[in-house]
Amino acid sequence: LTTLISASLSGYASAESMTVGFSQVGSESGWRAAETSVAKSEAKKRGITLKIADGQQKQENQIKAVRSFIAQGVDAIFIAPVVQTGWEPVLEEAREAKIPVFLLDRAIVVKDKSLYMAVVTADNVYEGKLIGDWLVKERNGKPCNVVELQGTVGASVAIDRKKGFAQAITGAPGIKIVRSQSGDFTRSKGKEVMESFIKAENNGKNICMVFAHNDDMAIGAIQAIKEAGLKPGKDILTGSIDGVPDIYKAMLAGEANANVELTPDMAGPAFDALEKFKKEGTVPPKIIKTESRLFLPADAQSQADKKTGMGY
């Protein structure tokens, strides 16, 4: 349900020549770089000035950036929050300054949800579940030892993807997570953690599948599997989330098995909602949900072709 309120009465600025400050997580993954690039082009299309601050995966940097945007008097603030807790004080400062805040791609935990206007996000529990459901179907009653490469500790998307995958495999007694550790959403840490999983699990022979919370970690894991003399996609199945071009390449090479696409266009829906709010006073729904779909190797070529012009 949308509610109409008067933007001018509430004290927010008008829609003309807006400046938006975007506190970005960092540049940890291919998906993240695409999200930044789409945000820039979506801002340009609308004549909005976009100021981007790279948080280098640290909440303290993001909080500093938000404070600086408040001091500059921007018209709105976008935050892709690295972790889900600890945002109240700075969001209260933004509210005090009458600056609307939109969250991109990750959610936060706050008692007072009016501290932000809306969050543009996928259903990340569902994304994890899609991969888990695929695995259960793929194994068709056979057992499977899964190793899990988690995203950044404390990030809503890592918590939710873990939960969704666990839910999906609950009904399949032979399928279990034998090891789970954070690879911080990066290719290098994904590889490093996968190497340690392989060493600990009889040179990888006890591992049936790697569930990586994003593609970059999956690509790092694929490298580690190859270096251990095993075949990714065959000896060890892979499932991951994002839909970056490299994962489709891996699928086409038979080295990756299942993937859930996450759109890098999180800023577009946020700009739309912001513009409507500024022009008409329309308050957006609290959650602006993006679509998540599972893709398999048969879809890899068309998916790879589709990615051109999507920030990759």
Chain residues that interact with ligand AHR, rule: CB under 6 A: 28-29, 31-32, 105-106, 157, 185, 214, 216, 241-242, 262
Q: Which is nearer to ligand AHR, 7 or 25 (CB)?
A: 25
C-beta separation of 42 from 268 below 8 A = yes
Q: Classify residue 297 by its DSSP letter.
A: G
Which residues are 287's β-sheet partners? 119
Minimum distance from CB of 311 to ligand AHR (Å)?
13
H or E, element range at 161: helix 156-169
CB 209 within 8 A of CB 178: no
Distance between CA atoms of 176 and 36, rounded to whole angstroms? 36
Nearer to ligand AHR, 42 or 242 (CB): 242
Q: How far is the CB of 66 from ligand AHR (least distance, A)?
A: 18
- Please tell me the distance from the alpha carbon of residue 284 to that of residue 75, in angstroms, as a whole number: 16
Going by C-alpha positions, the residue among 200, 146, 197 that lies closest to residue 175 is 146
Q: How far is the CB of 72 from ligand AHR (least distance, A)?
A: 26
**DSSP helix/strand/coil, 139:** helix
Give the SS3 label for residue 223. Answer: helix
Residue closer to ligand AHR, measured from CB, 179 or 187 = 187
* CB nearer ligand AHR, residue 207 or residue 241: 241
For residues 249 and 216, is the Cβ–Cβ distance under 8 A?
Answer: no
CA–CA gap between residue 255 and residue 285 (Å, rounded): 40
If the CB atoms of residues 28 and 246 are measured against ligand AHR, the closer one turns out to be 28
Strands 101-104 and 118-122: parallel
> Nearest approach, Cβ of 101 to ligand AHR (angstroms)?
17
**Closest separation between CB of residue 231 and ligand AHR, Å?**
25
Q: What single-letter amino acid sits at 54?
A: D
Least CB distance from residue 239 to ligand AHR, whole Å? 13
Min dist CB 207 to ligand AHR, Å, is 22
Dist CA 104 CA 270 (whole Å): 8
Question: CB-wise, 75 or 216, nearer to ligand AHR?
Answer: 216
d(CA 113, CA 305): 39
CB neighbourhood size of 241 (10 A): 31
In the complex with ligand AHR, which residue's Cβ is closer, 29 or 257?
Answer: 29
| Least distance in angstroms from the C-beta of 174 to ligand AHR | 28
Instruction: State which residue, 242 or 246, has the beta carbon closest to ligand AHR.
Output: 242
